[in-house]
Structure 1
Amino acid sequence: MIRVSALWRHPVKGVGAEPLQSTILRAGECLPGDRAFAIAQQGAETTGTWAACRNFVRGAKAGSLMAVSARPDGDNYIFTHPDRPDLRVALPAQGDDLIEWIKPLYPDNRPAPERLVTSREQGMTDAAFPSISLLSDASRSALGSAADATLDRRRFRGNIWLDGLEPWKEWDWIGKRLRIGAALLEVRERITRCRATHANPVTGRDDLDLLNVLAQNWGHRDFGVYAVCVEGGEVHIGDEATVHDRTRS
């Protein structure tokens, strides 16, 4: 039986991961609060709508950001990092404070973090559609065995983690639908990974070349799949997930 093992969202793209116990998905939308904001770098092309990841601060450009955690505190968020003092901010009002806080974590040879932005249409996920990422604990274990390491889920910045399936079985879901809790999702495509996976989310330092491990062992650099919500509903850790053809739900 496939079940939800973990739920995560990332309030600011590339900056901080927040664990959840439950969420309420809505049709045609990202996971609520996921990538609601992004930090545009100098020279970024943003218009208030979705924009490609190359415009933003993210872990592929600064592995140290992978060690940022975020947690809600009333109407505010508290951001933490092992090398920085905790920061409590209201977003978007105090976006400049968050930018100043991450600057010591960001490499000087990259375009500097400049402004906090949001999209009127969808979260700032890497996909140009309102994506929700689904990831497999079994595939994580298989990849970890190949890398001779235990892989923290946070390396992959996913939304819904599932256990109880065979490694890489998620590739068979493309074009199919999953009933997860009360929500129905349709799987669109595989997720091709970037250098952000190289960084240890505890320390923010690169310690594994997972792109090479994927390529050498499986001939690709993919991990996880993108889905869209076609029928909203509550999803909790421990909920069952079932796979269906598109003609069924």
Structure 2
Amino acid sequence: MTAGPGVTARTATIAGVWRHPVKSTAPEPLAEAALTADGGVLGDRAWALRDERRGVIADARTLPALLDAEARYTRPPTPAEPGPPVEITVPGHAPVTSADPDVHERLSAALGRAVTLWPRLPAGEDAHYRRLPPEDGDWDRYLREFFDVADAADVPDLSRLPEAVTTHQTIPGTYFDAFPLHLITDVTLRTLGGLSGGGPAAARRFRPNLLIAVPGDNSGPYPELAWAGRRLRAGTAVLRVTVPTPRCVMISHPAGGLPRDRELLRAVHREAAHDAGVYAAVEEPGVLRPGDRVELLP
């Protein structure tokens, strides 16, 4: 990796690649991923659940059981069909597919909440993506709980993110929270694990698309934060790193056998100014695999 502030001159590599066929479900590890210009990892977050009681796209904050639900495609995604039919298995319940006539009823029963399953809709279907105020109208309370902070003044600066983040549950036309890709390094996971009193933090808590292994020489405790505004070549794709990722209460939730860990989020807020990992967009489509080289471009 090209030398520069907060990065190393030795080679960085891709240590893991994941996608989430349904927003907020368990990560699906990939041996190879195609990156598309407008959708990030092909097949990532092509489906989402909608909370019918609230009338908004659902996430694991209100449906924590989603974090352990497994989703897989019944046939491989292609550029022509980036979101083919999907099968979802909620622990303790039989699998259900998006093609089943009773899919909504079965998912609602499994999750204990009235939901419907939706593919991505065009960006012009604005009402589908809209964010609604909290039921009690108290945005300060909502943000305090969302970021697990004591005071609204301690909420991360969200002005770096697209404006649509404040008005929509996801970016219209997608089920991405802010940008198509999320990256984190093994160095950051080791740093945060040490700060919260244990070994490396589990990548699963942060739900990245890419885990990047960075040699530790002079890389700093959070090397990817120095990449904001830079371009990366990963495999045959070129990525544009956009902004650091502000972390919310999701990284504290139990998932995949991991226990609840509020201290991890507190460490991120206290020691890393709320940020862990970075968002990115695809500048040049390509293919990447675990083991591929990652390098900063001029």
Output the TM-score relative to the length of structure 1: 0.79
Q: In the superposition, relative to structure 1, how do residues 183 and 173 fare at CA in structure 2: closer, same or farther (>3 Å)?
A: same
Letter matched to residue 237 of structure 1: P
Aligned to 1:29: 39
Structure 1 portions without partners, runs of 5+: 46-54, 105-111
Is residue 89–residue 98 contact of structure 1 (8 Å, CA) maintained in 2?
no
Letter matched to residue 28 of structure 2: E
Structure 2 portions without partners, runs of 5+: 1-10, 76-83, 124-172
In the alignment, the residues of structure 2 paired with residue 140 and residue 89 of structure 1 have an alpha-carbon distance, to the nearest angstrom, of: 35
**Secondary structure of 1:84 counterpart:** coil
Q: In the superposition, relative to structure 1, how do residues 84 and 31 fare at CA in structure 2: closer, same or farther (>3 Å)?
A: same
Shift of 1:153: 1.4
Structure of higher CA gyration radius: 2
Is residue 22–residue 237 contact of structure 1 (8 Å, CA) maintained in 2?
yes
Task: Tell me whether 1:184 sits opposite 2:238 in the alignment.
Answer: yes
**CA offsets 1:99-132 (integer angstroms, 9 cap, x no match):** 225424xxxxxxx4422222335530101x5x21
Q: In the superposition, relative to structure 1, how do residues 123 and 217 fare at CA in structure 2: closer, same or farther (>3 Å)?
A: same
Identity over aligned pairs, percent: 26
**Secondary structure of 1:141 counterpart:** helix
**Secondary structure of 1:209 counterpart:** helix
Is residue 138–residue 164 contact of structure 1 (8 Å, CA) maintained in 2?
yes
Question: Counterparts in 2 of 1:35-46, with a 5 A limit?
Answer: 35-42=45-52
Aligned to 1:152: 202
Q: In the superposition, relative to structure 1, how do residues 35 and 98 fare at CA in structure 2: closer, same or farther (>3 Å)?
A: farther
Aligned to 1:119: 121
Question: Counterparts in 2 of 1:42-191, with a 5 A limit?
Answer: 42=52, 55-74=56-75, 77-80=86-89, 83-90=91-98, 95-96=103-104, 99-100=107-108, 102-104=110-112, 112-117=113-118, 118-120=120-122, 122-127=173-178, 129=179, 131-150=180-199, 151-165=201-215, 166=219, 167-191=221-245
Q: Once superposed, what is the RMSD of the aligned Cα atoms?
A: 2.5
Shift of 1:139: 0.2
In the alignment, the residues of structure 2 paired with residue 239 and residue 187 of structure 1 have an alpha-carbon distance, to the nearest angstrom, of: 18
Bigger share in strand:
1
In the alignment, the residues of structure 2 paired with residue 149 and residue 98 of structure 1 have an alpha-carbon distance, to the nearest angstrom, of: 39
Q: In the superposition, relative to structure 1, how do residues 88 and 230 fare at CA in structure 2: closer, same or farther (>3 Å)?
A: same
Is residue 30–residue 123 contact of structure 1 (8 Å, CA) maintained in 2?
no
Is residue 39–residue 99 contact of structure 1 (8 Å, CA) maintained in 2?
no
> How many residues in Structure 1 have an aligned counterpart in Structure 2?
225
Shift of 1:89: 1.7
Question: Counterparts in 2 of 1:168-247, with a 5 A limit?
Answer: 168-203=222-257, 206-218=260-272, 220-245=273-298
